[in-house]
Amino acid sequence: MTLTLFLEQIVNGIILGSMYAIMGAGLALIYGTMRILNFAHGEFYMLGGFFVFFLFAQQGLNPVPAVIIAVAGVALVAAIVQRLTVHVLLKREGWAFSTIAATLGVSIFLQNLALALWGERFQSVPYFVDGLLQVGEFRLPWQRVLIFVVAVAVMGVMAYVLRYTRFGWAVRATAQDPEAAAVVGVPAARIHTMTFALGAALAAVAAALLAPVFAVNPWMGLPLIIKAFVVVVLGGLGSFPGAIAGGFLLGIVEAVGITLTSSEWRDVIAFGMMILFLWVRPWGLFGVKER
Amino acid sequence: MLEVRGLDVKYGDVQVLWDINLTVGAGEVVAVMGPNGSGKSTILKAIIGLVRSAAGTITLDGRPIAGQPAHAMAGLGVSLVLERRRLFAQMTVLENVRMGAFHPAVRSREKERLEWVESLFPILRERRGQLAGRMSGGEQQMVAIARGLMSGPRLLMMDEPFLGLAPRIVDQIVDIIRRINGEGIAVLFNEQNVHLSFSNAHRGYLLESGRIVLEGSGLAMLEHEMVKRVYLGT
Contacts of B101 in chain A (CB under 8 A): 184
Contacts of B71 in chain A (CB under 8 A): 182-188
The set of residues, in sequence order, having a beta carbon less than 8 Å from that of B199 and lying 6+ positions away, is B218, B222
In a domain, A190, yes or no: yes
Which among A27, A75, A35, A48 is positioned nearest to A221, based on CA atoms? A48
CA B204 to chain centre: 13
> Structural domain of residue A50, as residue ranges?
26-220
* Residue of chain B with shortest Cα separation from A92: B12
Q: What angle do CA A30, A170, A238 make, to 5 degrees?
A: 30
In a domain, A183, yes or no: yes
pLDDT given for residue B50 in this prediction: 94
What mean pLDDT do residues B84-91 have?
92
Determine whether the interchain pair B86/A166 forms a contact, defined as Cβ–Cβ distance below 8 Å: no
In a domain, A86, yes or no: yes
For A94-103, which contacts have Cβ atoms below 8 Å and span 24 or more sequence positions?
Answer: A95/A36, A96/A35, A96/A36, A99/A34, A99/A36, A99/A37, A100/A36, A100/A37, A100/A39, A103/A36, A103/A37, A103/A38, A103/A39, A103/A40, A103/A41
Contact (Cβ atoms closer than 8 angstroms) between residue A277 and residue A234: yes
| Residue B88 contacts A, CB cutoff 8 Å | yes
The set of residues, in sequence order, having a beta carbon less than 8 Å from that of A272 and lying 6+ positions away, is none
**Average of per-residue pLDDT values in chain B:** 94
Determine whether the interchain pair B102/A186 forms a contact, defined as Cβ–Cβ distance below 8 Å: yes
Residue B220 has pLDDT above 50, yes or no: yes
Nearest CA of chain A to the CA of B22: how many Å? 21
DSSP secondary structure of A159-202:
HHHHHHSHHHHHHHHHHH-HHHHHHTT--HHHHHHHHHHHHHHH
In a domain, A51, yes or no: yes
Under DSSP, is residue A216 helix (H, G, I), strand (E, B) or coil?
strand
pLDDT digits (tens, 9 = 90+) for B140-182: 999 999 999 999 999 999 999 999 899 999 999 999 999 999 9
Interface test with A, best of B95, B102, B147 (most A CBs within 10 A): B102
CA atoms within 13 A on the CB side of B129: 0
Determine whether the interchain pair B91/A169 forms a contact, defined as Cβ–Cβ distance below 8 Å: yes
Length in residues, chain B: 234
Contact (Cβ atoms closer than 8 angstroms) between residue A66 and residue A56: yes
In a domain, A278, yes or no: no
Determine whether the interchain pair A185/B106 forms a contact, defined as Cβ–Cβ distance below 8 Å: yes
| Residue B158 contacts A, CB cutoff 8 Å | no
Nearest CA of chain A to the CA of B223: how many Å? 36
Mean pLDDT, contiguous 10-residue spans, chain A (291 residues): 85 95 96 94 97 96 97 98 95 91 97 95 92 88 94 97 95 94 95 97 97 93 94 91 96 92 90 93 79 44
Which residues 148-207 of A are in CB contact (within 8 Å) with B? Answer: 166, 169-170, 172-173, 176-177, 179-188
CB-nearest to B86 from A179, A185, A188 is A179
Residue B77 has pLDDT above 80, yes or no: yes
| Residue B147 contacts A, CB cutoff 8 Å | yes
| Residue B150 contacts A, CB cutoff 8 Å | yes
Contact (Cβ atoms closer than 8 angstroms) between residue A25 and residue A224: no
Q: For B53-69, what is the HEC assignment?
A: CCEEEEEECCEECCCCC
User: Residue B50 region, left (φ>0) first, then alpha (ψ -120 to 50), else beta?
Assistant: alpha
Contacts of A180 in chain B (CB under 8 A): 82, 86-88
Interface test with A, best of B68, B73, B88 (most A CBs within 10 A): B88
User: Residue B49 region, left (φ>0) first, then alpha (ψ -120 to 50), else beta?
Assistant: left
Helix A41-52 and helix A221-235, axial crossing angle in degrees, nearest 10: 130
Length in residues, chain A: 291
Contacts of A176 in chain B (CB under 8 A): 88-91
List Cα–Cα distances, A95 to A34, A98, A186, A196, B95, in angstroms.
Answer: 10, 5, 21, 16, 30
| CA terminus-to-terminus distance, chain B | 36
Which among A85, A47, A87 is positioned nearest to A69, based on CA atoms? A47
Contacts of A170 in chain B (CB under 8 A): 102
What mean pLDDT do residues B194-223 have?
94
Determine whether the interchain pair A182/B50 forms a contact, defined as Cβ–Cβ distance below 8 Å: yes
Indicate the number of domains in chain A. Answer: 1
pLDDT given for residue A192 in this prediction: 96
Sketch out chain B's domains with CATH numbers: 2-87+152-232 (3.40.50.300)
Contacts of B82 in chain A (CB under 8 A): 179-180, 183
pLDDT given for residue B7 in this prediction: 96
Nearest CA of chain A to the CA of B234: how many Å? 40
Q: Where are the alpha helices (DSSP H) in B74-217?
A: 93-99, 110-120, 122-126, 137-149, 167-182, 194-198
Determine whether the interchain pair A181/B88 forms a contact, defined as Cβ–Cβ distance below 8 Å: yes
CB-nearest to B91 from A166, A176, A179 is A176
Predicted complex ipTM: 0.92
List Cα–Cα distances, B6 to A200, A255, B17, B148, B212, in angstroms.
Answer: 46, 67, 10, 27, 11
In a domain, A130, yes or no: yes
In a domain, A5, yes or no: no
Contact (Cβ atoms closer than 8 angstroms) between residue B32 and residue B190: yes
CA B144 to chain centre: 11
Determine whether the interchain pair A183/B82 forms a contact, defined as Cβ–Cβ distance below 8 Å: yes
| Residue B48 contacts A, CB cutoff 8 Å | yes
List Cα–Cα distances, B96 to A157, A161, B6, B22, B91, in angstroms.
Answer: 22, 17, 35, 31, 6
Which among A235, A261, A274 is positioned nearest to A25, based on CA atoms? A235
Q: What CA–CA distance (Å, rounded) separates A15 from A275?
A: 23
User: Residue B153 region, left (φ>0) first, then alpha (ψ -120 to 50), else beta?
Assistant: beta
What mean pLDDT do residues B174-203 have?
95
pLDDT tier for residue B229 given thresholds of 50, 70 and 90 = confident
In this structure, what is the dihedral angle of CA atoms B124, B129, B134, B135, given to the nearest 10 degrees? -10
DSSP secondary structure of B165-179:
--HHHHHHHHHHHHH
Determine whether the interchain pair A176/B80 forms a contact, defined as Cβ–Cβ distance below 8 Å: no
DSSP β-bridge partners for residue A141:
A132
pTM (2 d.p.): 0.91
Determine whether the interchain pair B88/A188 forms a contact, defined as Cβ–Cβ distance below 8 Å: no
Q: Where are the alpha helices (DSSP H) in A35-176?
A: 41-52, 63-84, 86-90, 95-118, 142-164, 166-176
Q: What CA–CA distance (Å, rounded) separates B100 from B79?
A: 9
Which among A178, A175, A19, A45 is positioned nearest to A107, based on CA atoms? A45
Nearest CA of chain B to the CA of A245: how many Å? 18
| Residue B99 contacts A, CB cutoff 8 Å | yes
Count other C-beta atoms under 10 Å from residue A58's C-beta: 13
Which among B31, B14, B5 is positioned nearest to B209, based on CA atoms? B14
Nearest CA of chain B to the CA of A225: how many Å? 27
